[in-house]
């Protein structure tokens, strides 16, 4: 979709440049000539038609892009990312996550799920191994209820050595989330079920899916400070720590 958007943008820019050149040639001709006057009128109508067609095409592509993004986000509905779990040689990532969750369950009063019975459909590290960086673990759960229970209890990971949980956002939503944090502050932005939310004045919240949505938010006073959030809304990461880059996207299915 991004390549299509770029192509349409280039097409529009090229068309405008050629039309401006043609307009200049018309203006240099004899304006009193009936032929020139007729050509100028037809040119204006044609130019308006093409510009409207390009604008409509851009709107349709943007709509399709949003629909594809929603479909991709739904395919990630049972997936969570675990950050801060140290890499190990020949590790069983599913076993490590279950050990971490079961250890957390002993001290978490909010987590009612028996984590021993939690079923992980798939798990693996994201990206290539690097000596100076700990890769996050992508975990896909079999049951949506298990995923939600663990997400709701993520604050229990505060004492687990910097381990945090985040949602597996699409690239476009992750970019919107980063822009929202930069514009409105880390404490006033979070994610829930793949949607990005911004806290504004009087405790109100706005769901945003694009930069245009962010531009519509007019903050007339400082938003109330919310809970400290980390990457993708996960609680437990100091707000002054650098934001980790978006992990390399992989194809995932529930």
- Per the domain annotation, does 100 fall within a domain? yes
Contact (Cβ atoms closer than 8 angstroms) between residue 91 and residue 120? no
Angle between helices 2-28 and 34-75 (to 10 degrees): 170
**Which residue, 75, 110, 126, sits at the end of a domain?**
75
- The tally of domains found in the chain comes to 3
Whole domain around residue 68: which residue ranges?
A: 2-75
Contact (Cβ atoms closer than 8 angstroms) between residue 208 and residue 86? no
Which CA distances in Å does 7 have to 1, 55, 155? 10, 13, 44
Query: 197-237, pLDDT tens digit by residue?
Result: 998 877 788 898 888 888 888 643 444 444 444 444 443 33
Looking at the structure, tell me whether residues 88 and 52 fall in a common domain. Answer: no
Please report the beta strands in the chain, taking only residues with DSSP state E, as ranges in sequence order: 79-83, 120-125, 137-141, 164-167, 189-192, 195-199, 205-208
Beta-strand pair 189-192/195-199: antiparallel
Looking at the structure, tell me whether residues 112 and 161 fall in a common domain. Answer: yes
Looking at the structure, tell me whether residues 202 and 143 fall in a common domain. Answer: no
User: What pLDDT is attached to residue 116?
Assistant: 52
pLDDT lower than 50: segments of the chain: 109-110, 112, 219-254
User: What pLDDT is attached to residue 242?
Assistant: 34
Looking at the structure, tell me whether residues 107 and 56 fall in a common domain. Answer: no
- Per the domain annotation, does 83 fall within a domain? yes
Looking at the structure, tell me whether residues 104 and 116 fall in a common domain. Answer: yes
Q: Helix, strand, coil % (nearest 5) of the chain?
A: 50, 15, 35
Domain containing 140 — which CATH number?
3.30.70.1820
User: What pLDDT is attached to residue 129?
Assistant: 82
Looking at the structure, tell me whether residues 6 and 41 fall in a common domain. Answer: yes
């Amino acid at each position: 979709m991004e390549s299509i958007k770029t192509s349409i943008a280039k097409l529009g820019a090229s068309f405008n440049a050629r039309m401006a050149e043609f307009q200049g040639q018309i203006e240099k001709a004899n304006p009193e000539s009936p032929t020139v006057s007729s050509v100028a009128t037809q040119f204006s109508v044609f130019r308006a038609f093409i510009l409207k067609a390009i604008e409509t095409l851009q709107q349709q592509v943007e709509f399709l892009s949003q629909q594809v993004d929603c479909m991709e986000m739904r395919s990630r509905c049972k997936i969570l990312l675990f950050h801060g779990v140290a890499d190990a040689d020949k590790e069983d990532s599913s076993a490590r996550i279950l050990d971490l969750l079961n250890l957390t369950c002993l001290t978490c009063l909010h987590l009612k799920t028996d984590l021993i019975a939690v079923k992980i459909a798939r798990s693996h590290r994201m990206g290539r191994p690097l000596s100076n960086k700990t890769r996050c673990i992508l975990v896909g759960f079999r049951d949506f209820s298990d995923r939600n229970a663990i997400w709701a209890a993520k604050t229990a990971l505060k004492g687990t050595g910097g381990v945090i949980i985040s949602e597996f956002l699409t690239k476009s939503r992750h970019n919107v989330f980063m822009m929202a944090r930069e514009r409105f502050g880390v404490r006033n932005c979070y994610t829930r079920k793949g949607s990005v939310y911004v806290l504004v004045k009087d405790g109100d919240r706005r769901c945003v899916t694009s930069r245009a949505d962010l531009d519509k938010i007019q903050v007339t006073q400082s938003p109330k400070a919310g809970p400290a959030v980390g990457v993708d809304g996960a609680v437990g990461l100091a707000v002054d720590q650098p934001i980790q880059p978006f992990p390399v996207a992989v194809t995932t299915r529930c």
